[in-house]
A and B are shown apart, each in its own frame.
Chain A
Amino acid sequence: MSGTDPSPPGVPLLEASGLDAGYKTGGSGARVVVGNVNFAVGQGDRVAVLGANGSGKTTLLKTCVGLIPALGGVSLLGGHPVGRLHPRQRARMVAWVPQISESAWPFTVRELVAQGRYAARGPFSAYTGEDKDAVNAAIERLELEELADRPFRQLSGGEARRVLIARAVAQDTPLVALDEPAAHLDPGRQMELLELLAELAAEGKAIVVSLHDINAARRFAASVLLIDRSGRAHFGPPEDSLRPERLEDAYDTEFLHGHHEGYGRFVLPLARKRKGAPGSLR
């Protein structure tokens, strides 16, 4: 995988500037989980968001795409503050792939993928040939033909993930944000997923994806945004964001850092830093 960094002309697809992501607590209070985030994403970019459990990866992603209001700073989609965009305008610029989707009703895979066309067509206009083609193409792209008429709820975790990505593909946006799409996937499925995301990026889509697997992130992403334990975000090329001391601090864990001639650098988690003596697993 090449580490090129295609920078598009003009305005970035997504730009966070001094962005504070977090939650409003009861009353007028608010809790910033990740503060003062600055980064920009352009056409074809591959960005991985890393950080420990509870570090705020999901919160940050949701804030960037406008599903949670920013507590400070601003997230711009195509130069527009995301909070001021109409939901349909926003949904034509960025597709969101949640970790799980729990529909109240047993929709079929095809029906669920077709919901990706809402942004393009709106509540009343009949679906056109263009919509049908987009849905069929997305279903083929994710190899869901066999499952197309099965209820979404009956699918395995990996299959369900593919359906949600298909819906995002049908939504046909220049930017796709995914919340830990590799969670609970076996190594083979995980590689398959990342290869697919890399393909989408090669076609010009910008991909912002939160991941747990540091090695996978390093292989996939041209840029990494690492959230440390104090809620600071470090954005840059992997060799910078994933420096040994940064990683150790973000995950509170000692890593073995290795290098493979063909694949480059990799890490192996060795021991938790605080709890237990180092090397207690040995």
Chain B
Amino acid sequence: MTFASARFRKAPAILALGAVAAVAFVLSVGMGAVALSPLAVLRSLAGLILGREAGPEQIIVGLRLTRALLAAAVGASLASSGAVLQGLFRNPLADPFVIGSSSGASLGAVLAMTLGLGSGAFGFTAIGGAAFLGGLGASVLVYAMAGSSRIRSDAASLLLAGSVLSSLLSACVSMLLAIKDKDLHQVWFWLLGGFSGRGLPQLAAAAPAMIVGFLAAVGSGRVLDVLSAGDDEAASLGLSPVKARLVVGAFAALSVSAAVSVAGSIGFVGLVSPHIARRFVGPSHGALIPASALVGAAMLTLADTAARSFFAPIEMPVGALTAFIGAPFFLYKLARRGLEATR
């Protein structure tokens, strides 16, 4: 038995997760007010890709395609960042929001809405742009605290600092809303998260940060493996844990901020996808991170499909629906097999 054979068993698992994500994608494009068969969807997709006319469905497919792409990209970003942050903090409870990115992004977006900022630049809407900057700003703040004090020395303190900062920023959001209550409805829906009204420009604006973040996440797999046994052991194996947390965490913050700027703060996906992925590919981050991304993409694509079709014409907030469907399933699995069971 060699590394290769151990890794080989992971490749089919990742392929299978990829297939699930692809099926979810096609289903998502097919479902809606005008339902299309998977075959019709595939035909139209082929037409779009090859630049050929393939019937009137193509217009519908084109519209839904953007939305499915958004959901998949945001799901993949949140899930892979979740896996990275759980590894970075050695904590199965960590999620993309522990380093303050989510609450920072929320505060940014709420500020933009309550101040009535205008249309934006570089493809970002003003709200999306403010959310992106808010998310990055909050993470920088957490790391600045970490860099200037004893917090830098261990993962638990950094985690706690992030959580406390999140509470502070959430408190700011609440207070802003109390003062500017006429914006309540708009802000409320943004905070719940979702993809309605978002399109290609938002995807294009966020894509570079998401792609860079994802590549960095995949690249940090071995570092996260080595970090898993604690700072002393990581150091003895040749890694600087403080530097690793700083660099890897910064890329995770970038990715999360981009995702939140597009879709608002969608919880659950980032927390749970890595746990699901671990059951398929084990804990090694090199396989875990791409697998988590696929799980997250599939989960959020399906959730968004359900959000816009099950209660049509009312659209459910996708963040709420993700947890509504996912949480009972996850709890059931947790009760039956525990967190430890992998593969």
Contact = CB atoms under 8 A, between A and B. Distances in A.
Interface of A: 62, 65-67, 87-88, 90-92, 94-96, 98, 101-108, 110-111, 114-116, 118-119, 123-124, 127, 131-132, 135-136, 148-149, 151, 153, 171
B240 interface: yes
Nearest to A89: B238
30 contacts: A62-B232, A65-B236, A66-B235, A67-B232, A67-B235, A87-B240, A90-B238, A91-B236, A101-B230, A102-B229, A102-B230, A104-B92, A104-B229, A106-B282, A106-B283, A107-B284, A108-B6, A108-B282, A111-B6, A115-B229, A118-B226, A118-B237, A123-B220, A123-B222, A124-B219, A127-B3, A132-B4, A149-B6, A151-B342, A171-B237
Contacts of A107: 225, 228, 282-284
A116 B234 CA distance: 10
A148 B1 contact: yes
Interface residues of B, number: 32
B239 A87 contact: yes
Nearest to A148: B1
Given A87-B238, A115-B226, A118-B239, 15 more contacts: A87-B239, A91-B236, A91-B237, A91-B238, A94-B236, A98-B233, A101-B229, A101-B230, A104-B91, A104-B92, A104-B228, A110-B3, A115-B225, A116-B237, A124-B222
Contacts of A105: 87, 228, 278, 283
A98 B232 contact: yes
Contact of A95 (B225, B236, B240, B283): B236
B159 to A, nearest CB: 12
B151 to A, nearest CB: 14
Interface in B82-96: 87, 90-92
Given A111-B6, A111-B284, A136-B2, A87 B235 contact: yes
A189 B333 CA distance: 40
B340 interface: yes
B223 interface: yes
A70 to B, nearest CB: 15
Contacts of B240: 87
A115 B237 contact: yes
Contacts of A66: 235
A106 B340 contact: yes
Which of B2, B87, B233, B284 gathers the greatest number of chain A CB atoms within 10 Å? B233
A156 B128 CA distance: 52
B184 to A, nearest CB: 41
Contacts of A132: 2-4
Contact of B3 (A91, A102, A114, A153): A114
A185 to B, nearest CB: 21
Which of B92, B228, B278, B342 gathers the greatest number of chain A CB atoms within 10 Å? B228
Contacts of B91: 104
Contacts of B219: 123-124
B226 A149 contact: no
A111 B237 contact: no
Contacts of A149: 1, 6
Contacts of B225: 107, 111, 115
Interface string B77-117: 00000000001001110000000000000000000000000
A96 B229 contact: no
B229 A92 contact: no
